[in-house]
Structure 1
């Protein structure tokens, strides 16, 4: 079933008393500004559309408090709001997967990041163990809206306190990429420090 995107949305509204227009607006903004699972707006839209096409959700979403007809109506209104926002803006960043992981791992060290606790840190929660990495490093490879491509690399410890920001040559100056990273991710500037060697 194509319920992953819907489950993510419903997780965000599970404590909302009503799935009203304010919640529709909030979830619509989220698809642009804090996309679920690093998906593009189109992928999130298609996930909602595919879930609505499933006749019987059975028990897949029984954990959330809203009745299925109310949820379906809510999701249709989210799609309508997304349609009204076309053409969609370029997302601040998108996940590129791990196809070029080794290039980034051996690339240029740009900066160090002090991480928050995972639940409070939009970057920390995106760090996953990289398949096939010999040191079981955690990481994420991103394309920023600026066009820069970067990787965050962290130790295997899920509660680690630091990650490094890497790029693959040729690339813009470290200062320019760090500025783009802070701007696109909303990461606190004081938690990003330039790398020295």
Structure 2
């Protein structure tokens, strides 16, 4: 059986001397707040549960220092800790994938967003080039904990640090969506400027 989420978990604890209860709490919090592969909590839980049910694992785990019995014990404690956190809250935001780009490319422009370097900005790091876009626009589509769905769109690097926040119709009032974006992404308010006009590079390049 391929391990998926288990491998992602083990990458996060590979430098931990012990698979302690503190590590259980840390990884559980990560799974709920910053889920692996943008999976839901249920999907991550099911992946680990399936791995524990498997008699053998196909993945080579020799790169990490913990033996299989220790890993399995850690995973059982992780699932128990997650069970204790039910009902699970939605993460602050989840990626939607670019398959839905058509819904957002002509969506309402809500705000301009100043990005930091990808190494310092978790959303900038998630921007991907939109397939087939002649201008090389980069985007990430997000579902916020509030239920709002937005797109963060930026031109190519090296000059692509001025992004747009867009929403596809129908959507709530712009002020409410912007406030939800600030709340759930943690972006500083001074980096997000509400606008009532469409930036030039966002026109006619769809």
Structure 1-normalised TM-score?
0.86
Q: Which moved more, 1:45-54 or 1:172-181?
A: 45-54
Question: Partners of 1:39 and 1:52 in 2: how far apart?
Answer: 18
What pairs with 1:47-86 in structure 2 (closer than 5 Å)?
A: 47-86=47-86
Residue 145 of structure 1 pairs with residue 121 of structure 2: no
Residue 5 of structure 1 pairs with residue 5 of structure 2: yes
Q: 1:2 deviation in Å?
A: 3.7
Match of 2:202 in 1: none
What pairs with 1:102-113 in structure 2 (closer than 5 Å)?
A: 102-113=102-113
Asked if 1 retains the 8 angstrom alpha-carbon contact of 2:2 and 2:59, the reply is no
Deviation track 1:3-46 (CA, whole Å, cap 9, x = no partner) reads: 22122222222222211000101111111111112211111111
Deviation track 1:59-102 (CA, whole Å, cap 9, x = no partner) reads: 53322222222122111111111112222122222222334311
Change (3 A) 1:76 1:136: farther
Query: What SS does the aligned partner of 1:100 have?
Result: helix
Larger Rg: 2
Question: Partners of 1:100 and 1:80 in 2: how far apart?
Answer: 35
Give the number of aligned pairs.
Answer: 197
Asked if 2 retains the 8 angstrom alpha-carbon contact of 1:2 and 1:50, the reply is no
Question: Partners of 2:31 and 2:39 in 1: how far apart?
Answer: 9
Match of 2:124 in 1: 124
Asked if 2 retains the 8 angstrom alpha-carbon contact of 1:2 and 1:47, the reply is no
Give unpaired runs (5+ residues) of structure 1. none
Match of 1:182 in 2: 182
Change (3 A) 1:188 1:8: farther
Q: Which moved more, 1:146-155 or 1:57-66?
A: 57-66
Question: Partners of 1:78 and 1:133 in 2: how far apart?
Answer: 42
Structure 2-normalised TM-score?
0.83
Q: 1:159 deviation in Å?
A: 8.8
* Superposition CA RMSD, Å: 2.3
Match of 1:24 in 2: 24
Query: What SS does the aligned partner of 1:164 have?
Result: strand
Give unpaired runs (5+ residues) of structure 2. 198-206
Change (3 A) 1:26 1:159: farther
Question: Partners of 2:105 and 2:186 in 1: how far apart?
Answer: 23
